Amino acid sequence: MTLRWPWVTAVLALTLILAAAAALLIGVAATSPEVVWNIRAPRIAMAVIVGGGLAVAGALMQGSLGNPLADPALVGVSGGAALGAVAAVALGAAFNTGLASIAACLGAAGAVAIVVAVSIRDSKPEVVTLLLAGVAVTAFTTAALAVLVSMSDTAGARSVTFWTTGSLALSTWGGVLSVAPFAVIGFVLAATTPRSLDALSLGDRAAQAAGVDVAGVRYRSLAAVVLLVAAGVATVGIIAFVGLLVPHAVRAIIGPRHGRLLVVSALAGALLVLAADTLARIVANPVEIPIGAVTALVGAPAFFVLLRRTRARQGGWA
C-alpha cells in the first residue's frame, strides 16, 4: 500500500530542514558564526545538491534502462567521472572545481557510452551484462586512479585518495557555486522525462505506440545522469548506493510514477547524504570517516537483498 505523496514530501522536507539545522550545530570545532557560515553551511548545501542529484540520477537510470539495479556507482558512471576529475587535477597546477566538473562530465559520458553499448540487446540493456560491464569499467577506472595517485606527491595522493572515497570536508561556497549550474541543468533535464518514463515502463513498443520518442527520452535521461553525477563526483568523490537504494525505498512508499518519484527521491537522497555526512563527522571524533564508507556499509547488504529479489522476480538469469 502506497502513501499519499504530498504528505511524504512534506515530512521529508521538514526532516531535511531539521537535519540541516542540527548539522549546523554539531561538530568538533566551537560553534562560532565563522565556522557555521564558512565551513558547515557550504558543506550542508553540497550534501543537499549531491545527495539529491545522485538519487535522481539513480531513478533516471532505473527508469530509462528498465533495470532495477542500475546505479551510477555500480555501473561505472561515478568511476568514470572520478577518473576525469582526478586526471584534470593531476594535469593542472591546482584543484579547480569548474575544470574538474567539466572533466568529470566527459569521464561520466564515456563510461555511460561504454556500459550501454556493451549491454544493449534488442534496444534494451540486459541486467547482468550491464552490471558486468559496470564492474569492468569500475576496475579500469580504479586502476587508472591508482596510477595517477602514485604519480602525485604525498599530500596530493592523500587528498585524492580521501576524495575518491567520498568526502564533503573540502566543501566551500566557491565549490557550491561551481557545481550548481551542472546540477540545475541536470534537474531541468530530469523534469522533462517523467511522463515518457512512465510510458517506457510498459515496454518500448507500448511507449512508441503512445507517441514517445524512446531513444530521445533515454538520451535526455542519461545526459541528466552525467551532469548530476559529474557535479557530485567532481566535488565530493564517489558516494555509492545512494542512487540505488533511495529510488527503491521511495518507489515502495509512494508508487512508481516518475513525476512523484523524482521529487521525493531528491529530498530523500539529500537527507540521506546529509545524515551520513553528519555521522561521518562525529562517530570517530576527531577522525573523520569518508562518507562513501558510511553509505557503503549500509548499501552493500541492501544491494544483496535487492539482487536476490530481482533475480527471483525475473525467474533467474541463466
Average pLDDT over residues 153-178: 76
pLDDT category of residue 228 using cuts at 50, 70 and 90: very high
pLDDT tens digits for 49-96? 999 999 999 999 999 888 777 888 878 888 898 888 888 877 764 556
**pLDDT value of residue 93:** 46
Share of the chain above pLDDT 70, in %: 87
Which ranges in the chain belong to alpha helices (H)?
5-25, 33-35, 41-65, 77-91, 97-119, 127-150, 154-164, 173-191, 194-200, 204-209, 214-236, 242-254, 258-282, 291-313
Q: Which residues pair with 121 in a beta bridge?
A: 124
Rounded-to-integer distance, Cα 277 and Cα 168, Å: 7
pLDDT category of residue 318 using cuts at 50, 70 and 90: very low
**pLDDT value of residue 29:** 60
Average pLDDT over residues 122-148: 81
* Rounded (10°) angle between helices 291-313 and 242-254: 60
pLDDT tens digits for 268-301? 999 999 999 999 888 877 778 889 888 888 888 8
Q: In terms of residue numbers, what domain contains 136?
A: 5-314
Cell reading at 132: 558486468
> For the chain, what is the domain count?
1
Q: Which residue has the cell 544493449?
A: 120
Q: For residue 100, is pLDDT > 80? A: no
Structural contact between residues 89 and 95, judged by C-beta atoms closer than 8 angstroms: yes
Rounded-to-integer distance, Cα 206 and Cα 212, Å: 9
Of the candidates 22, 88, 41, 37, the residue with the CA atom closest to the CA atom of residue 275: 22
Q: Give the CATH number of the domain where residue 215 resides.
A: 1.10.3470.10
pLDDT category of residue 34 using cuts at 50, 70 and 90: confident
**pLDDT value of residue 214:** 87
Q: Which residues pair with 124 in a beta bridge?
A: 121
